[in-house]
Amino acid sequence: MTYQPPTRLQAAILDWAGTVVDFGSFAPTRIFVEAFASFDLALTLEEARGPMGVGKWAHIRALCDEPAVAERFQRRFGRAPTDDDVTLLYERFMPLQLEKVGEHSALIPGALEAIAALRERGLKIGSCSGYPRAVMNKVQALASAAGYQPDHVVASDEVPRGRPSPAQALANVIALRLDDVAACVKVDDTAPGLLEGRHAGMWTVALRFSGNTLGLSWERYQALARSERAAHRQRIDGELASCRPHYLIDTIAELPPIIDAINARLARGETPSAG
């Protein structure tokens, strides 16, 4: 048998918060701030956004490893934060997340139309998230009621290793019975999610404005002047450059033409590893 590279995309693997739902990715970040506050530990929204994209326990561990946060913990408790402390914070985070995730789970404008356009092109829709299954169940139900039903969902606690490992993306490949990772595109707003796609051997598309890198609500984003958007594009493109995304776009609404561009590259014999 001879290897034949794919000539068209078979699937898009979409992130959730900041990609399809929750413009600005506020649901997890604000709850991190509240969870830390319940232990009398200050945490800014900007600090909470830092490790976004990884699983939530790992996110809290990364926050506790930040020098400024570790120093606050040391002052408050007289010692460095341990994994047991991270687990206590996580156990406080989870019920808050389950209670309040619905407040920030509206579909991102243009998402339904873009996903419909992908399906018209014959793509299956996979998905994965930094949320654990308990939270994903609630997010999925809300999204379904709003009209979004992906073909498969992989939560962060359903694989041995979370992002930037390729495990969640590859679990979608298996579940959707896809022929080749080169026939998949991973769409995400965070560095760990983009690296997940790269590590899985997929095409990758970075979203600049709907997620964590900009961190603004839809209303505040809409109010930005053209010059402000241009400045943010330049900054965000620089921040994500080390992830080597194949494409960068503002929001998922701009995804369908990118699918056409990738299909054209596949038809020419190009693969994601070459880009």
How many angstroms separate the first and last alpha carbons of the chain? 26
Catalytic residue of the set 22, 40, 56, 186: 56
Q: DSSP letter at 128?
A: B
CA–CA distance, 127 with 17 (Å, rounded to integer): 11
* 56 catalytic residue (yes or no): yes
Buried b (16+ CB within 10 A) or exposed e, 13-28: bbbbbbbbbbbbbbbb
The tokens for 264 are 């054209």
Q: Exactly one of 15, 22, 188, 189 is catalytic; which is it?
A: 15
From the number of C-beta atoms within 10 Å of its C-beta (0-12, 13-18, 19+), residue 194 rates as buried
Active site residue 186: no
Q: Phi and psi of 11, rounded to 5°?
A: -155, 150
| Sequence-ordered list of residues with C-beta below 8 angstroms from that of 258, at least 6 positions apart, any chain | 185, 205, 247, 249
CA 64 to chain centre: 21
Query: Which residues are catalytic, by number?
Result: 15, 56
